[in-house]
Structure 1
Amino acid sequence: MLSYEDILLLFPEAKGIRFPGLTFGMIATDPGEKMSKGLYVPLDGGADLLGPIESGAIASLWPKDMAVPAHVPNHFPLFIVDDMKLAHERLIACWEGGSDKQIKPPRG
């Protein structure tokens, strides 16, 4: 299980509420998939977050070059990333590692 703090270590730029202690139950890439405490990753570049929010997403990765939709609530954290595919790969590697000791901030 990953926490808000874990994701913030991976992707330090964030918008919306700061939510220490928040944990994610799953990582989802399908906006219509039922997700319990899901972290949504819009791999298809979809600009709409209403579907994922209605499906149970409690936060999302978001492309740096895309404006945040006006309907996104302030209490919905967004982690801003440059490359969605690479960000997804990093998330999966950390999720499968199962240890926050394996999570390191990006180099650069």
Structure 2
Amino acid sequence: MYLTSNDLAILFPEKQGIEDYILFHTVSDQANVLQSKGLFIPLNNQEDKLIEAIANGAVAAIWEEGKSLPPYTPNHFPVFFTLDLAEAVKQLLQLYLDYLNGEKNHNMDITNFKFSNKKLLNKNNETYDIAVMVNQIADSKRNNSERRG
């Protein structure tokens, strides 16, 4: 199951660019990695690297609201706006994990998340490693269900 542009439109209703249905094979904060059909999220002030992300396969971006897009950004390039990029990543991962929790097909295609933003991780004492986040969210859900009970 791939993350789609329709999923992003639900989370981030402020957007610009073409509103085609896009399947994202990759989500990354790294402009310099290959990101086939990628969604680029410029964490840690990497807005100036959008052109590199596009050259490496990014087909859309999540952008901090209020920050200018580079003048070279194609008019048709889908951009979804948010007030907080780190929070956007959390929402995106939570949505995707919810989708995966409902899937029964173990041989499905999945979106590849590539995050290596060590400065942001150190600053927030959090992780964006999908495997670690899955465990944290699962633990959180278990704790919440125990309290309801």
Tell me if both proteins adopt one fold, taking TM over 0.5 as the criterion. Answer: yes
Give aligned-pair identity as a percent: 32
More helix by share: 2
Is 1:47 matched with 2:57?
no
* 1:24 partnered with 2:14: no
Cα distance in structure 1, aligned partners of 2:31 and 2:71: 18
CA RMSD of aligned residues (A): 1.4
Q: Deviations over 1:25-57 (max 9, x none)?
A: 111111101101011111112122101000100
Q: Which ranges of structure 2 fall in alignment gaps of 5 or more residues?
A: 103-149
Letter in structure 1 aligned against 2:93: I
Runs (4+) off by over 6 Å: none
Matched, 1:82 2:83: yes
Structure 1 residue 98: Cα displacement: 2.8
AA aligned opposite 1:34? L
Question: Does 1:34 find its partner at 2:34?
Answer: yes
Q: Which residue of structure 1 lines up, in the alignment, with residue 98 of structure 2?
A: 97
Q: What is the letter of the counterpart of residue 70 of structure 1?
A: P
The 1-side partners of 2:55 and 2:97 are apart by: 26
Distance in 1, matches of 2:96 and 2:31, equals 19
Tell me: higher relative CO, structure 1 or 2? Use CA pairs within 8 A at least 6 residues apart. Answer: 1
Amino acid at match of 1:15: Q
Structure 1-normalised TM-score? 0.85
**1-structure distance, mates of 2:47, 2:29:** 13
Give the Å deviation of 1:94.
1.9
Q: Residue 40 of structure 2 aligns to which amino acid in structure 1?
A: Y
Task: Give structure 1 stretches of 5+ with no counterpart.
Answer: 102-108
Distance 1:97-1:26 versus aligned 2 partners, 3 A rule: farther
The normalised TM-score by structure 2 is: 0.63
For 2:142, the equivalent position in structure 1 comes to none
